[in-house]
Amino acid sequence: MLVPAVAFTTLGKCSCCWNESLMMCGSVLAAVVGLVGSAYCFIVSGYALLQGPQCFTSYGWSYPFADQKGRYLLQPETWTRCLQPVNIIEWNITLLCVLLGLAVLEFIICLLQLGNGLVNAVCRPCCYKQEYSLNA
């Protein structure tokens, strides 16, 4: 999210740029990078949530919930399989749910910015050529 955020803020402050359409194309490119990043975060966090955490069990360090396809989330009584670290399942669920939520939020913001940039890049050259004057 850092690359699109920096691009959005710096492109908005640019008053001496060559061409506003080119500036909007940079905004569109940054939005596409943000969309790809948010999709990647969503997929990786979702997969990690389904797989479950790596923890120390009676058999050693392993992924005890990897074969359950996320069913462990609805069965808190099975969480006792993880002996160490303490409360790793709750921590893992909280962290990954926050990441999933932020990925969705980032996707929505970048999608809106993509639409805004495309509309401005296409329409600004033809629709805003008229000069307006406040002189009567």
Task: Please tell me the number of Cα atoms within 13 Å of 127 on its side-chain side.
Answer: 8
The secondary structure of 20-55 as a DSSP string is HHHHHHHHHHHHHHHHHHHHHHHHHHHHHHHH---E
Q: 106, 1 in Cβ contact below 8 A? A: yes
- Over its length of 136 residues, how does the chain's per-residue pLDDT go in tens digits? 666 666 666 655 555 445 555 566 677 888 899 999 999 999 999 999 999 999 999 999 999 999 998 999 999 999 999 999 999 999 999 999 999 999 999 999 999 988 888 887 777 656 555 555 556 5
Asked if the bond preceding 85 is cis, omega within 30° of 0, the reply is yes
Phi and psi of 112, rounded to 5°? -65, -40
For residue 92, give the nearest of 51, 37, 60 by alpha carbon.
51
Q: What is the per-residue pLDDT for 17?
A: 47
Q: Are 32 and 114 in contact (CB under 8 A)?
A: yes
Give the global pTM: 0.75
pLDDT of residue 58: 93
